[in-house]
Structure 1
């Protein structure tokens, strides 16, 4: 069996060539294994499902790092979109911008959104997360991706890929749903345990830990003026 030398913090280990980073976490990380969201392989950000084939240095990334927090938010956004589509079939979800230590978004459906709706979606998110469902990366033909986004009524994705030059695109799959996200992803939904979804008229705010307190939801701070600035900018963008 071929082996490689992997340096983790101040420890060096001889490992099988092709070992996945998630296996290194199981062997060498002393805390909760799902605290590790991603890793740095030498100077490259990599997903935990990636195999290692050469000698390298590895740094585990938790929510105390900016890179891991962005990946965490990406995974939560995927679960949120899926949960909303399951609770309210035919709805569309848009993630708009950062606000109140989280992400503001809107869910478009026939009768508008209310506090009870948001609670139902949050409960469905927690069910999906409790099942620890995997995120799987797939390379699919662009034609299939466009058909899929039309079926989901994801107009933002259709606009994004309008000028895509490649014949294929990498997407992630979780359960029945495929979606496109630019960037790395967590291995499974079970990594996304700490979050809060709150109603913020006319949409919601998806809140999750800050890097300085990775195990708790930050204190809520009202940012109405900033929110109104974002809303005004979006109106002008629609006009232009």
Structure 2
């Protein structure tokens, strides 16, 4: 009987390979045509690891470390390499590590039993990681039964994973092994340690950071942490641990035990308390006339501005909400990006001169007719909406450029109070898998846009990379200039959003380019037990996304 072959379409050409050929071998054949390392492949739009064998015909595409899926696989695999190096150097107990946050193209980690590390330890760990990278040790994947996996995690002392998989619906769990070290990871891995050459370790706060490449995939990115961002993440993390829900498994325990009503009430009360304290801080100065609010997509800026305005009103002030979107240039004057599309996210899309002219007039006690932007016609309109600032009046201005002083360049510094708002994650998947803040915001946006803009999940996912690029360019560079950073994230929100998001994600066809991302998000949401939305208050930031808000959002 002759050998069997499969036909793969690669870069527009069909090629035959012996059935059972490793994708790793095919990737090595084509690596010379790619600047960045090939770490995964897709076969007919389905993501595959390189240790898999070609066993059927289809279109094969290569995924490199420059692609989002490849970048995530690289970072996951490097985390496993770090764990193995620590285990080898410190032993089972002292090497227990928690991956806490993602900051500035790096993972912030802490050693649970060892305590605060020093430079000497990090140097030893780095040398051990590089040694294993040189050896090109295979990262092997195996499947085991759910009960067996729970028992394994119990034996390894990985209690977060043990709790997580108590609620797993599937009967099997994929386990990764590196030179005998076993762990579970949320997502795919590279084939061997030979890919993992580009990293660095640096002391930071009470732990250290594992640093990664970014755009240049073969050079470690510069570490530029935002101190305010890190402190806000730590504060959220500490509060979630105080509530006993630092991970998804712990959250599921709380849901299963019927503790969610209390948790929702407590967290909403805490958020209201923080907004009230913020209002007190603003009101304490006679000079503050403009509250400038900015933050990335789906942070809940609109609901937050309304709730802050209410708190300011309780202190005797008269707040007036104002959206920067009303100062857009008419469509024909809007700049275009490199693809010829209107760039609504750049500062030049706003009529900065008119904004400053109006704000200066208000500051000097003049009456100003405020514009309203008509998004259907693409033109600015005037509908008799006038404003004159009195003694206790204050403008609450919300928009992506709110913290950029180029927007409000004529306004005195002391007249502005700046707030950066973002939905920062308060729980993690488990010890070694942090929960990306961007995933939470994307799911928020999928649910909101389907409800308010009749936008499909596929369309929202398709535009997300562009949205993220705009945030990196126009929003995040200004976060440290804020007087206050506010976290709008809620511990239980993904358990609530799950029921809204899943049907939208299941609606994406398998042939669509966005299917892989939809599948990843569905797998992610599958970790959560659902929480019904009936207990969510009408003024909750979550209502901005699921509907039923007391505000017009």
TM-score (ref. length: structure 2): 0.41
CA distance in 2, matches of 1:104, 1:187: 25
CA distance in 1, matches of 2:114, 2:20: 50
Q: Which of 237, 240, 245 is the matching residue for 1:237?
A: 240
**Larger RCO (alpha carbons 8 Å, 6+ apart):** 1
Equivalent residue pairs, number: 239
CA distance in 2, matches of 1:175, 1:122: 17
Which 5+ residue runs of structure 2 have no aligned equivalent? Answer: 244-553
Q: 1:13 aligns to what SS in structure 2?
A: strand
Counterpart residue number, 1:14: 16
CA distance in 1, matches of 2:155, 2:127: 25
Counterpart residue number, 1:202: 206
Alignment check: 8 A CA contact 1:139 1:171 kept: yes
Counterpart residue number, 1:57: 59
Alignment check: 8 A CA contact 2:137 2:192 kept: yes
Q: How far apart are 1:30 and its partner, in Å?
A: 1.6
Q: How far apart are 1:24 and its partner, in Å?
A: 1.1
Q: Which of 66, 77, 80 is the matching residue for 2:79?
A: 77
Counterpart residue number, 1:222: 225
Q: In the alignment, does 2:137 pair up with 1:112? A: no
Counterpart residue number, 1:124: 128
Counterpart residue number, 2:323: none
Based on CA coordinates, which of the two structures has the bigger radius of gyration? 2
Alignment check: 8 A CA contact 1:100 1:205 kept: no
Q: 2:32 aligns to what SS in structure 1?
A: coil
CA distance in 2, matches of 1:154, 1:7: 42
Q: 2:25 aligns to what SS in structure 1?
A: helix
1:133-172 alignment to 2 at 5 Å? 133-172=137-176
Structure with higher strand content: 1
Q: Structure 1 residues 31-40 or 73-82, which shifts more?
A: 31-40
Question: Residues 57-76 of structure 1, C-alpha deviation per residue, up to 9 Å, x if partnerless?
Answer: 11111111111000001100
Alignment check: 8 A CA contact 2:101 2:107 kept: yes
Q: How far apart are 1:28 and its partner, in Å?
A: 2.9
Q: Which of 168, 184, 187 is the matching residue for 1:183?
A: 187
CA distance in 2, matches of 1:111, 1:78: 20
Q: 1:83 aligns to what SS in structure 2?
A: helix
Q: 1:30 aligns to what SS in structure 2?
A: helix
Q: 1:82 aligns to what SS in structure 2?
A: helix
Q: Which of 47, 50, 64 is the matching residue for 1:48?
A: 50
Q: 2:208 aligns to what SS in structure 1?
A: strand
CA distance in 2, matches of 1:187, 1:176: 15
CA distance in 1, matches of 2:115, 2:217: 36
Q: How far apart are 1:198 and its partner, in Å?
A: 1.2
Give the 3 Å change call, closer, same or farther, for CA 195–32 of structure 1 in structure 2. Answer: farther
TM-score (ref. length: structure 1): 0.91
Structure with higher helix content: 2
Alignment check: 8 A CA contact 1:5 1:55 kept: yes
Runs of 4+ in 1 over 6 A off after TM superposition: none
Q: 2:221 aligns to what SS in structure 1?
A: coil
Q: Structure 1 residues 220-229 or 72-81, which shifts more?
A: 220-229
Q: How far apart are 1:219 and its partner, in Å?
A: 1.8
Q: How far apart are 1:155 and its partner, in Å?
A: 2.5
Alignment check: 8 A CA contact 2:150 2:166 kept: no
Q: How far apart are 1:34 and its partner, in Å?
A: 8.6
Alignment check: 8 A CA contact 2:211 2:223 kept: no
CA distance in 2, matches of 1:58, 1:100: 33
Counterpart residue number, 1:87: 89
CA distance in 2, matches of 1:70, 1:111: 28
Alignment check: 8 A CA contact 1:25 1:33 kept: no
RMSD over aligned CA atoms reads 2.0
Alignment check: 8 A CA contact 1:63 1:209 kept: no
